[in-house]
Amino acid sequence: MLATILQVALGGAIGAAARYLASVGTMRLMGPGFPWGTLVVNVAGSFLMGVLVVILAHRDDTRLAPFLMTGVLGGFTTFSAFSLDAMAIFERGQAALAGFYVGASVLLSLGAIVLAMYLVRGFYQ
């Protein structure tokens, strides 16, 4: 268990550093005004999650999953985990439930950040 936690922690540090570099690089390339860095990181993370889940399943080898999927990609973007969850529900033949999950995740997450910002800003006024 400790070895797995260390794998996740190391992967998370690598992923977080990669996210920072990708975000800074994207902003320098595309400019400010739109969260291009976040968009690029989320799409790239989702793509990499798809690559890893297929390769690891094909090899029937999940030993690197905590390091690569939870650690590196989790530190890089949690959107990759969201995308994997949505795709897993969809592939189980539950398209409506997958759509609900996607819609609820986006709307509730946006609602949560609006509420949090409203509440916390009240403390600073």
- pLDDT tens digits for 77-100? 978 888 989 999 999 999 999 999
Taking Cα atoms as reference points, which of 40, 46, 5 lies closest to residue 26? 40
Give the global pTM.
0.78
User: Residue type at 89?
Assistant: I
In the 8-state DSSP scheme, what is residue 93? T
Q: Are 16 and 71 in contact (CB under 8 A)?
A: no
Cα–Cα separations (whole angstroms), residue 115 to 35, 108, 120, 121: 21, 10, 8, 10
- pLDDT tens digits for 8-22? 999 999 999 999 999
- pLDDT tens digits for 43-77? 999 899 999 999 998 899 889 999 999 999 999 99
Task: Supply the pLDDT for residue 102.
Answer: 95
In DSSP notation, 43-72 reads: HHHHHHHHHHHHHHHHTT--TTHIIIIIII
Who contacts 98 (Cβ-Cβ below 8 Å, separation ≥6)? 86, 87, 89, 90
